[in-house]
Amino acid sequence: MRVFLIALSLLLPSLCAAQNFTTSAGVKPILELIRPQWIAIRPYDGQDLLYMTTLLTYRCGIEQIRFSYNGGELQVWDGEPCYWDEASPMALKVETHLPYAVAPLDSLQTVTINLLFDDGTTMEQSYQRKDVQIN
């Protein structure tokens, strides 16, 4: 029993910290590790779909998701809100907001993502189509 309590006391701080994905402090380390998976491009039904699903999962700690295609101007992603009054504030309901943007087929050659966090800092990543395309 004593060994169990010692192990639990060592694990408890990290388990509690892992539960806080609703602030920039909680999501920035994760987003840094998964930069290559922030987005995906999928050609589908005669158009390109730019999926932002991974970023949207961590949206509660992100103030704004901005994106641009092929070196164009940054646009603000109008994504699903964070559900602060629910047990899982980061859950995606996909009822009123889709987790992707639509563009003409083969038009997305490069995509830049710029994240503004709730602490005022930013993180940016650019992608080549060939590196993030799924079929």
- For a pLDDT cut of 90, what percent of the chain falls above it? 53
Q: Give the whole-angstrom CA distance, residue 63 versus residue 66.
A: 10
User: Residue 28 has which token pair?
Assistant: 């920035």
Residue 6: inside a domain: no
- For a pLDDT cut of 70, what percent of the chain falls above it? 84
**Which residues contact residue 107 at a Cβ distance below 8 angstroms, ignoring those fewer than 6 apart?**
48, 69, 70
pLDDT score recorded for residue 33 = 92
Mean pLDDT of 107-127: 95
Residue 15: inside a domain: no
CB 20 within 8 A of CB 14: no
pLDDT band at 85 (very low <50, low <70, confident <90, very high): confident
Q: Which residue has the higher pLDDT, 14 or 86?
A: 86
Q: What is the mean pLDDT of the chain?
A: 84
pLDDT in tens, 34-84: 999 999 999 999 999 999 998 888 888 899 999 999 999 999 988 888 887
Integer angstrom CA distances of residue 75 from 20, 34, 40, 69, 97: 28, 22, 17, 9, 16
Residue 39: inside a domain: yes
Residue 5: inside a domain: no
Range of the domain at 60: 21-132
CB 21 within 8 A of CB 60: yes
Query: Cα dihedral sign for 94, 100, 101, 102?
Result: negative
Question: Could you give the number of structural domains in the chain?
Answer: 1
pLDDT band at 10 (very low <50, low <70, confident <90, very high): very low
Residue 113: inside a domain: yes
Q: Is a pLDDT exceeding 80 seen at residue 90?
A: no
Residue 125: inside a domain: yes
Mean pLDDT of 100-124: 95
Strand extents, DSSP E, the chain: 40-44, 47-51, 62-69, 75-76, 100-104, 110-117, 122-128
Residue 7: inside a domain: no
Q: Give the whole-angstrom CA distance, residue 23 versus residue 21.
A: 6
Residue 3: inside a domain: no
CB 111 within 8 A of CB 132: yes
